[in-house]
Structure 1
Amino acid sequence: MNESNAVSNPASVGGLVDLDKRPVAEVLAALDVKADAGLSNAEAEQRLAQYGPNALVEQQKGLLATLLGPFTGPIAYMIEAAALVSAFLGRWNDFAVIFGLLLFNAALEFWQERKASNALAALKNSLAPEATALRAGQWQTVPASTLVPGDIVKIRLGVIVPADLRLVSGDYAAIDQAALTGESLPASKKVGDEAYSGSVVKEGEMEGVVIATGSNTFFGRTAQLVAGAGSVSHAQTAMFQIANFLIVVAVVLALIMVGFDVWRDIVVQDDWKWEDALNILQFVLILLVASIPVAMPAVFSITMALGALALSKQKAIVSKLSAIEEMAGVDILCSDKTGTLTKNVLTLAEPILFASTDPQEVIRSGALASKIEDRDAIDTAVIGALQDQAVLSAYKQINYKPFDPVGKRTQAEVSTPDGKTILVSKGAPQVIAALANLDDPDAAKVKQAVEDLGAKGYRALGVARSEDDGKTWSLLGILPMFDPPRDDSKATIDEAARKGVRVKMVTGDDTAIARETARQLGLGTHIIPAAEAFPKDMDPNKVPPDIAEAIERADGFARVFPEHKYAIVKALQDRGHLVAMTGDGVNDAPALKQADCGTAVSGATDAARGAAALILTAPGLSVINSAVDEARRIFGRINSYTIYRVALTMDIMFLVVLSTLLLDFTPLTAIMIVMLAVLDDAPIMAIAYDNTEVAPQPIRWKMRRVLAVSSVLGLFSVVQSFGLLLIGFTILNSAPDQAFFQLFTQAELQSVMFLQIVLGGHFLLYNTRTARWFFLPPFPSLPLNAALWATNILAILMCAYGWLVPKLSWTTIGWVLAYTLVWVFLMDVIKRITYALADHKTEWQAKHRRAVNQQLGA
């Protein structure tokens, strides 16, 4: 068995096999312990050395690895290389700008990594700190971490179960294990049943023998899954792919340039000097600075941070920024049922009458057989269904017997308003029917009613009354009980479907309950009982293809455990889906962390919140659709920035190379390139505020499409820039043109190229921010326009007054501005054609598809 699956079955612990299934006597014998004596202190110490502490062990990363982690990776290495070259050449202004961006990106990554450990920390806090154990024949309070298999422990009201137990004595206990198994009601436990570590005792007192501790418990398996879960952000993958693409282009161009310079200096001029080597190094620096999208991680982070701020106003807290971008591509949402799709409030439907003719009489008798102060969910539902609860004050409860898992009913002795004494009872319908000693036709009627209710996912509760001290009982009726869907759930699911997101329900409840809830919500009724469908020894990281296909087809899953939820998410991801997962309990934490966008719903445990990327503070799922819309807007902004940045980077790199090779002219100085990085990227962060259309369907990174579109736009940007450079050289070689355009020196031509790339780059963003014509809505936002034109004006003033660059006349500046404005319209035509070709939407492509389909008989 895979270690991560050896949880409630401690087969991997000291050769102890199937302790959760074998008879209690065999379990005690296998553990070599007596229920009335417990282990001796020496035995406990020996077993502690053998099995290890009853605690979750977290593998800690070294301090050095933690600190150096953010400084590794393609983008980090290139930034560091550029910084080192800048320092070597003594270009400290360049070094300061580059190193500052490196530290900013590293700080963001370090902060995200710290948050990743929150889930396991929260799980640790959920464990019991102490336990009451029978050692050497005496009950002692011991640290829960020292418990070992074979220890006899006592659990009672309010106690956290300290390890996985088999209950060996005691009458009854009600244990809330919803956070572990997803069950909506506390589980009734009797001798022989198992109690899971981390669950909470709500009623009763029992004794149990420890059968598994630490990472071998049900709870421990959840923690192991959390520690191993996690998917790589698609935004990170995209940044690496973009960086690698630009790095390859930069390296190829650098090799060409180095080869050309060496050949020219050694072969042609035969005049090699160390100064020439430094000049080549200087050029490589320029190319490195030009090729590295140093601000890309910052732009991504700021854009998503502002999206997180927008979501917080809609009662959704983002704890992992990359999840916002992931939500844009989510096509499957796995949602828990209880409290998310349903109200998590048991509600009574119309009673099914037998001996009684009044529905309220049946409910009233059931309420009299309840105890409101126990705050039991079923008792609360029955009492709450009374039209007039004040009527109960006329009755006096003389004696009350609570529910127990053997008798499966409650009973109360009650004094009525007219002085009579009656007995009332409620419980399992079959038990109440037997109590009433029904004849065969009535017994069959009860059985059929229970089956019909079960098929609809309803719980059934029988109610009986005796007026002769329990000698004879009358079955008054059956109370159908269910957890109704939230009022907004169906509308939310329908809206998600229109957005291309399929919702699958995941619950620990029985299949019939899940199927009926799914039917009411319009999810479909193909519900898989996970505990039966998944092999017990299945590795959740390697789901067999046939099971993965069944998971993909299913409308939902019932009777799930933590490894099932994790496996469902992992299998869907392996089949190419982006998966969002909602949950609220410890049992949801592994799947929440593994999902592309794990979402902790309102009222979730600390473990679920720590594992989730999105935390909802309002009940229900309605905010999910808002998150999808916001994510798709953010994705649109990041996508447009990416195309813009790649195209502009290619423009700068190829302009430098082509002008050096063909014209033996350096069009940009090092300080110009640094200023370009500041002027082009700093205001672009305002794209986070841009108005963006919402995609109707899930959208993902299609790197071939992104790089193809950006490469085409980059190519024509090179045509635009190199064309102006050729015009500039033509002007410099003609006296009349020099006077007309007010351009006289090559230094001024460098300023012209600097200004053109700043203006052309900003105008290029107008092209890339939408696939439509740039002059159609949605129009650029005020913050984006203000940021772009502020930097445009700054670049113009720099050239007009000679700040850091050679001075230009206003006439020359006017001609450059006019030239770039004309290219805005030309680039938009090119963009539209490129998108049509990339998306196979041109007329000739449509004709070709029709011809192929006709030949194939389609």
Structure 2
Amino acid sequence: MSSTTSATLPAGSGAAAASSTDASATKKSTTLDAAGIANTFKTLQSSDKGLTSADAKQRLTKYGPNAIQAHEESRWKKLLGYFWSPIAWMIEAAAIISLLRQDWPDFIVVTALLLYNAAVGFWQDNKAASALAALKKGLALKAHVLRDGKWVEADAADLVPGDIVTVSGGEILPADLILFDGKYLSVDQAALTGESLPVSKKIGDSGYSGSIARQGSMTGVVTATGNNTFFGRTANLVASAGAKSHAEQAVTRIGDFLILLAILLAIILIGTQVGRDITGPGGWHWSEAGEIAQFVLVLLVASVPVALPAVMSVTMALGALALSRQKAIVSRLSAIEELAGVDVLCSDKTGTLTLNQLALQQPILFSGSTADELIVGAALATQSQSTDAIDQAVFKGLKDRKVLDQYKQVDFIPFDPVNKKTVGIVTGPDGKQIQFAKGAPQVIAALAGLQEGATEGDAKTYFGDVDDLARHGTRALGVARSDDEGKTWKLLGLLTLLDPPRPDAKTTIAQAKELGLSVKMVTGDDIAIGSEISQQLGLGTHLLVASDVFGKNVDPDHIPIDAARAVEQADGFGRVFPENKFEIVKALQERGHIVAMTGDGVNDAPALKQADCGVAVSGATDAARSAAALILTAPGLSTIVNAINESRAIFERITSYVYYRIAMTICIMFVVVLAYIVFDFQPLTAIMIVVLALLDDIPIMTIAYDNVEPSKKPVKWNMHRIVVFSSVMGLFALIQSFGLVVIAQYWIQDAGLQSWLHLDFPHLQTMLFLQLAAGGHLLLFVVRTRHSLFRPPYPSKPLFLAIVGTQIVAILICLFGVGLVPPLPWQFIGLVWIYVLVWMVVLDWIKLAYFKIADSREANSITKPIVAS
């Protein structure tokens, strides 16, 4: 098909513009003769009289509701899953040992930590599921069904095989059907089969659940419902594969790193203790084994990021809530983290970048006609009840629709895929009969006797205008009039139509580019149409025909390197079929990009699933929603850009916590082991370590509300940089903590200092406990931003108040002991706070120096996607 033809043949019944797509679509349909229809009724044990309510109820029990039934894991199984993991096993082992030793304080605290972590994860899991359930509930459809011999309106979910339903223009087919009565039905099944134009259905044809009736009305018998429909089978095929997200992989790797480090240090600690016991005067006693085992296990519990999954879940869930207010539903929490790293956004044109509302442009007039005469003529060649986009654009072009009341319709010839036109036969105000025709420019030209290829006269001008419109991507609709019962026709002119860009699209694309995204248009329309819109939106005009890029029989798992490079460099793609979307995503991913792809149809689902972040746009089918990570409930691209900004803010909050958690883990583990090896002193008791973990991590949940400065470029997990920076900060935090132990050891041995304020080893334990509690949260203030902690963005009010509240609790615990630690005089509490505040400034300088060196090295290396910092 030439670009001219495809650009000027508008879709829909109003345009009479069927192409070869219509023909192929008709071949795909299963057309039954009278005997075949009768056999269908016999197989379904039904008739054209429909079912009784009793029969329908019985069949509903047998076949289930007419809805997509996704297998969901039981809530109990989900809950138990939070108690079955390496981290959970460590906590459980510590709890069991505490129980066997009847160490009730340790047992209560460790068990509370285990239950807390499971409860938070379970709650967040259900929160995401509930959001989707609420969305699906709001999408319930109705159907006109013949029950007990009467036509009634019922929920589509209650339909069963054998039901008789009627479908009219503007309605969604509620189930798979065989049509057996009616004259005409134009069905848009692009969302399911990929045809760009509506398909004309006749008696004996099949209709698919989820497709949209554009014009006409027919009656059919339901042949399949729910998961057994074409729609349902496809939706199940594209169900989420359950692969781990980058965030989940990062948590696993961080956990593995810290667990291995903790195990290594625990072995050193055990070896040192056993060696000292064996060589000591009292010798080794097995009674000490339980105490050692408990201390080591609790040390491991405090050393691994127990709260990391919960912190990530809370942070992402609050982000998902914020996105839902912006008309975007997150189908899985990990999608937020994936969206933060997207650097290529492939966007549908129709309805996303454009309004999906054809509007009349400046008409081209012939035969001395006026614009009003041209539009009125086109309106009289249109059915008044039509919902076709082109027909609606014609009606909107009328200055006053009441002008049509002067004409009385005598007959109407609807769209025919062969004749490619509609004809309205009316009587005018003077009582004379007039005929108006509208349709494909070539067809209307033939009516008026104009020959394509003519080198002079109206024919040359007319076809020249048609070609010029095609080059600019504007749809054209020819209109003609006959005053002698169709014997001769007068060409009135060309109506020009364009689906205009959304008012906010150009600004939104500019914002996306500022965020480091490459936006590529993906459209089923011809290159000319796509290029025109792309140019208006500032996307560029280097659009490629998708089928030309990939060729025939391409293996999506092995995209040729030349094709992948072409996809990477293109501004967009035209004449895109659903399978091309999948290939585009694969090609970009092979080039190392993180890709977001928009879509709305069943056939888009594989591409949405393959994309790093599939986006189901407003009005998408359930199958597309089930495959997508982000579901938009409002039209346009701005919601995606807002979601990217929100996801990057969430990513910054999570990485801040990761830096803090790794650094503090390293600090706690090493200070315990070093103090024990160097001074033969146990700096923290088991209960101190667990309470410290709770004091550190519970208030940190409020980091989900923290003020951050989102990155201006895509971000992703860089484990090397995360581990290096966290280790550097952890090393200096260790120097801070171990320095306090050294100073305190000197204090204990100095008679002068002891006479001023007495300090012994139990008090030293309390001092170290307070230093780690206070210093840990001050360390969070340091690592939460790349800039100086004295520059904005400052900590959010919830985070700041939570940490202040926690520190007040820690001070009171140290001041009064409360059975957990030896009481500490207020003078020592003041000295500890002066010490950690000085170190906070020192750590801030170290952080700034690190980033200056790291950024300098990165600038001198090969350019790579910017990573979280």
TM-score, normalising length: structure 1 = 0.83
1:346 alignment partner AA? L
Q: Is 1:696 matched with 2:712?
A: yes
**C-alpha distance in structure 1 between counterparts of 2:427 and 2:730, whole Å:** 89
**C-alpha distance in structure 2 between counterparts of 1:764 and 1:275, whole Å:** 39
Residue 351 (structure 1) shift: 1.3
Q: Is 1:781 matched with 2:793?
A: no
Q: Is 1:243 matched with 2:255?
A: yes
Residue 404 (structure 1) shift: 1.8
Q: Is 1:398 matched with 2:413?
A: no
Q: Is 1:750 matched with 2:765?
A: yes
Name the counterpart of 1:663. 679
Out of 593, 598, 619, the position equivalent to 1:577 is: 593
User: Alpha carbons of 1:217 and 1:443: their partners in 2 closer, same or farther (altered >3 Å)?
Assistant: farther
Residue 238 (structure 1) shift: 1.7
Q: Which runs of 5+ in 1 are unaligned?
A: 1-19, 46-51, 133-142, 850-858
2:567 alignment partner AA? I
Residue 56 (structure 1) shift: 7.4
Q: Is 1:272 matched with 2:284?
A: yes
Contact 2:161-2:225 within 8 A present in 1 as well? no
After superposition, where does 1:23-172 map in structure 2 within 5 Å?
A: 38=39, 66=78, 68-90=80-102, 91-108=106-123, 110-111=125-126, 114=129, 158=171, 160=173, 163=176, 172=184
Name the counterpart of 1:855. none
Deviations 1:241-293 (A, max 9, x none): 11111111111111112222233333555722222211220221231122122
Deviates more, 1:720-729 or 1:373-382: 373-382
User: Alpha carbons of 1:254 and 1:341: their partners in 2 closer, same or farther (altered >3 Å)?
Assistant: same
**C-alpha distance in structure 2 between counterparts of 1:403 and 1:162, whole Å:** 25
Contact 1:345-1:483 within 8 A present in 2 as well? yes
Out of 314, 334, 354, the position equivalent to 1:342 is: 354
Residue 478 (structure 1) shift: 1.1
Out of 289, 300, 305, the position equivalent to 2:312 is: 300
Deviations 1:604-660 (A, max 9, x none): 444444444434343322233322222222211211111011101111111111111
Contact 1:341-1:621 within 8 A present in 2 as well? yes
Deviates more, 1:774-783 or 1:230-239: 230-239
**C-alpha distance in structure 2 between counterparts of 1:402 and 1:815, whole Å:** 90
Q: Is 1:673 matched with 2:686?
A: no
After superposition, where does 1:460-479 map in structure 2 within 5 Å?
A: 460-479=476-495
Contact 2:92-2:111 within 8 A present in 1 as well? no
Out of 460, 477, 484, the position equivalent to 2:500 is: 484
User: Alpha carbons of 1:529 and 1:109: their partners in 2 closer, same or farther (altered >3 Å)?
Assistant: farther
**C-alpha distance in structure 2 between counterparts of 1:353 and 1:716, whole Å:** 80
**C-alpha distance in structure 2 between counterparts of 1:220 and 1:310, whole Å:** 31
Name the counterpart of 1:522. 538
Secondary structure (helix, strand or coil) at the match of 2:239 reads helix
Secondary structure (helix, strand or coil) at the match of 1:460 reads strand
Name the counterpart of 1:351. 363
Out of 421, 429, 442, the position equivalent to 1:409 is: 421
User: Alpha carbons of 1:129 and 1:115: their partners in 2 closer, same or farther (altered >3 Å)?
Assistant: farther
User: Alpha carbons of 1:455 and 1:216: their partners in 2 closer, same or farther (altered >3 Å)?
Assistant: farther
Deviations 1:648-698 (A, max 9, x none): 111111111111111111111112112211211122222222221121111
Residue 217 (structure 1) shift: 8.0
How much is the aligned-residue C-alpha RMSD, in angstroms?
Answer: 4.1
Deviations 1:504-540 (A, max 9, x none): 2223334433332222222223334445655666565
Name the counterpart of 1:263. 275
Taking only the aligned residue pairs, the percentage that are identical comes to: 52
Secondary structure (helix, strand or coil) at the match of 1:373 reads coil
Out of 371, 374, 382, the position equivalent to 1:370 is: 382
Deviations 1:296-324 (A, max 9, x none): 12222222233333334434344433322
Deviates more, 1:702-711 or 1:551-560: 551-560
Secondary structure (helix, strand or coil) at the match of 1:235 reads helix
User: Alpha carbons of 1:328 and 1:640: their partners in 2 closer, same or farther (altered >3 Å)?
Assistant: same
Contact 2:240-2:609 within 8 A present in 1 as well? no
**C-alpha distance in structure 2 between counterparts of 1:131 and 1:568, whole Å:** 45
Deviates more, 1:537-546 or 1:102-111: 537-546
1:759 alignment partner AA? A
Name the counterpart of 1:4. none
**C-alpha distance in structure 2 between counterparts of 1:127 and 1:598, whole Å:** 28
Q: Is 1:724 matched with 2:737?
A: no
Q: Is 1:768 matched with 2:768?
A: no
Name the counterpart of 1:48. none
**C-alpha distance in structure 1 between counterparts of 2:174 and 2:718, whole Å:** 49
User: Alpha carbons of 1:359 and 1:828: their partners in 2 closer, same or farther (altered >3 Å)?
Assistant: same
User: Alpha carbons of 1:85 and 1:480: their partners in 2 closer, same or farther (altered >3 Å)?
Assistant: farther
1:627 alignment partner AA? A
Contact 1:172-1:405 within 8 A present in 2 as well? no
Deviates more, 1:336-345 or 1:214-223: 214-223
Secondary structure (helix, strand or coil) at the match of 1:372 reads coil
User: Alpha carbons of 1:661 and 1:126: their partners in 2 closer, same or farther (altered >3 Å)?
Assistant: farther
**C-alpha distance in structure 1 between counterparts of 2:404 and 2:718, whole Å:** 66
Contact 1:508-1:558 within 8 A present in 2 as well? yes
Residue 552 (structure 1) shift: 2.8
User: Alpha carbons of 1:36 and 1:312: their partners in 2 closer, same or farther (altered >3 Å)?
Assistant: closer
Contact 1:647-1:715 within 8 A present in 2 as well? yes
Q: Is 1:456 matched with 2:467?
A: no
Deviates more, 1:252-261 or 1:470-479: 252-261
User: Alpha carbons of 1:529 and 1:80: their partners in 2 closer, same or farther (altered >3 Å)?
Assistant: farther
Residue 44 (structure 1) shift: 11
Deviations 1:831-855 (A, max 9, x none): 122222333359xx96x99xxxxxx
Deviates more, 1:364-373 or 1:640-649: 364-373
Contact 1:161-1:200 within 8 A present in 2 as well? no
Residue 502 (structure 1) shift: 1.5
Contact 2:526-2:575 within 8 A present in 1 as well? yes
Name the counterpart of 2:10. none
Secondary structure (helix, strand or coil) at the match of 1:580 reads strand
1:784 alignment partner AA? L
Residue 461 (structure 1) shift: 0.9
User: Alpha carbons of 1:526 and 1:22: their partners in 2 closer, same or farther (altered >3 Å)?
Assistant: closer
Name the counterpart of 1:8. none
User: Alpha carbons of 1:76 and 1:476: their partners in 2 closer, same or farther (altered >3 Å)?
Assistant: farther
Deviates more, 1:292-301 or 1:523-532: 523-532
Out of 642, 647, 650, the position equivalent to 2:663 is: 647
Contact 1:500-1:697 within 8 A present in 2 as well? yes
- Give the count of matched residue pairs: 807
Secondary structure (helix, strand or coil) at the match of 1:107 reads helix
**C-alpha distance in structure 2 between counterparts of 1:234 and 1:298, whole Å:** 16
1:754 alignment partner AA? F
Secondary structure (helix, strand or coil) at the match of 1:840 reads helix
Contact 1:35-1:209 within 8 A present in 2 as well? no
Name the counterpart of 1:13. none
Name the counterpart of 1:285. 297
2:690 alignment partner AA? V
User: Alpha carbons of 1:282 and 1:72: their partners in 2 closer, same or farther (altered >3 Å)?
Assistant: closer
Contact 1:83-1:99 within 8 A present in 2 as well? no
Contact 1:156-1:201 within 8 A present in 2 as well? yes
Residue 111 (structure 1) shift: 2.4
After superposition, where does 1:201-216 map in structure 2 within 5 Å?
A: 201-204=213-216
TM-score, normalising length: structure 2 = 0.82
Contact 2:185-2:200 within 8 A present in 1 as well? yes
Contact 2:608-2:628 within 8 A present in 1 as well? yes
Out of 432, 436, 439, the position equivalent to 1:420 is: 432
Q: Is 1:598 matched with 2:610?
A: no
